[in-house]
Amino acid sequence: MTFSGLVSQLLEIVLALAFAPLLTGWVNQWRAWLQNRSAPGLLQPYRLLHKLFNKDSVVAETASPIFRIAPYIVFACMALVCGIAPTLSTDLPLAPAADAIALVGLFALARVFISLAAMDIGTSFGTLGARREMLVGFLAEPALLMVLFSASLITQSTSLANIVESLAHAPFAIYPSLAVAGVAFTFVSLAENARIPVDNPATHLELTMIHEALILEYSGRHLALIEWAASLKLFAYSCIGLALFFPWGIANADTPLVMILAVPVLVAKLAVGGMLLALIETINAKMRLFRVPEFLATAFLLAVIALLVHVLLGA
């Protein structure tokens, strides 16, 4: 590992840690504007993290070590995903680790620990949220794998870096399989990030919440790490989607200067993506929990159709 590669890898991780709350604030702003409400400040997520980090954590007497270490594991998993995903460049020291199965495995590892921590205290809301979270994950992970496999058939590689590099530097072509896979990826991204129509990130209504039920017992720095990890997860999914379906502007070198030049392109794409996410959440309503399996089954079927389109038609 060269010194330049190490600096570039750290630059990508630091960029994700710094920009993830900003993306969340941007989405919240546009969501409020589209709903004709007063929008919170763009830096509100940073203020929230600062407030939580300066508060003491209250831990139940019956909490096991799993409850205490879960926020750190979840945060580390999301930070690692942002480090191995081709956000700014496809030629980084951790790029070979960005295999499709490894990527989905990191998301699954974070889900398992946050669900175990929610059940650890023994509250009814925590157990309810954990069961719902595992249901969503059980249905979303196969769909995400099929989306990544559909893209891997085009480049004959399951490495995300190789897929993005091949698509970004190949002659411009329209792949119907990628278009269908993009719709499936959008469905999965909404479900995995607890966004409408699957979940409402702003609700605390016990009958409908999923993500919020998992973190009701957390406070202080533990809650700050989980909220930061949620922003990192949204940032990671956004960057993976942009890298797969809009790969132009991603550098293919590990020099910090080249990567810095790729930052404005990434910011512009994330800004447009955040606006579209807010629009999707505004024009849709929260669906009933019993409809979520149908929603994610549709995503899986679309991903399978994308794979079959490429196998049968080669497009």
pLDDT digits (tens, 9 = 90+) for 46-69: 999 999 999 988 888 888 889 999
Give me the long-range contacts of 23-29 (CB less than 8 A, separation at least 24): 23/231, 23/234, 23/235, 23/238, 23/270, 23/274, 24/230, 24/231, 24/234, 26/270, 26/271, 26/274, 27/234, 27/274, 27/277, 27/278, 28/278, 29/278
More confident residue, 276 or 85: 276
Residue 283 to residues 75, 196, 271, 275, 288, Cα–Cα distance (Å)? 31, 10, 19, 12, 16
CA 132 to chain centre: 18
Report the share of the chain in percent with pLDDT over 90.
40
More confident residue, 206 or 10: 10
Q: How far apart are CA 151 and CA 161, in angstroms?
A: 12
Over 80: is that where the pLDDT of 5 sits? no
pLDDT-derived band at 27, boundaries 50, 70, 90: very high
pLDDT for the residue numbered 114? 92
* Interval 216-268: pLDDT, tens: 889 899 999 999 999 999 999 999 999 888 888 787 777 777 788 888 999 99
Over 80: is that where the pLDDT of 34 sits? yes
More confident residue, 72 or 194: 72
Residue type (1 letter), 308? L
pLDDT for the residue numbered 312? 80
pLDDT-derived band at 301, boundaries 50, 70, 90: very high
Average of per-residue pLDDT values in the chain: 87
Q: How far apart are CA 48 and CA 86, in angstroms?
A: 28
pLDDT for the residue numbered 205? 66
Tokens of 292: 């979520």
Over 80: is that where the pLDDT of 187 sits? yes
pLDDT-derived band at 10, boundaries 50, 70, 90: confident
Report the share of the chain in percent with pLDDT over 70.
96
Q: Specify the residue for token string 């003491």.
A: 56
Q: How far apart are CA 186 and CA 13, in angstroms?
A: 24
Helix (H, G, I), strand (E, B) or coil at 20: helix
pTM above 0.75, yes or no: yes
pLDDT for the residue numbered 246? 87
Domain ranges of the chain: 3-313
Residue pair 166/129 in contact (Cβ under 8 Å)? The answer is: no
Tokens of 283: 């024009």
pLDDT for the residue numbered 280? 92
Residue 142 to residues 156, 175, 186, 301, Cα–Cα distance (Å)? 19, 22, 14, 10
pLDDT for the residue numbered 213? 82
pLDDT-derived band at 168, boundaries 50, 70, 90: confident
Residue 86 to residues 122, 137, 232, Cα–Cα distance (Å)? 39, 23, 14
Q: How far apart are CA 183 and CA 50, in angstroms?
A: 36
Half-sphere exposure of 270 (CA within 13 A, CB side): 26
* Interval 77-130: pLDDT, tens: 999 999 888 888 887 788 777 788 888 899 999 999 999 998 888 888 888 888
Q: How far apart are CA 199 and CA 216, in angstroms?
A: 16
Q: 180: closest CA among 18, 306, 56, 91?
A: 306
Q: How large is the average pLDDT for residues 144-149?
A: 90
Q: Specify the residue for token string 């096991």.
A: 64
DSSP letter for 93, please.
T
pLDDT for the residue numbered 315? 62
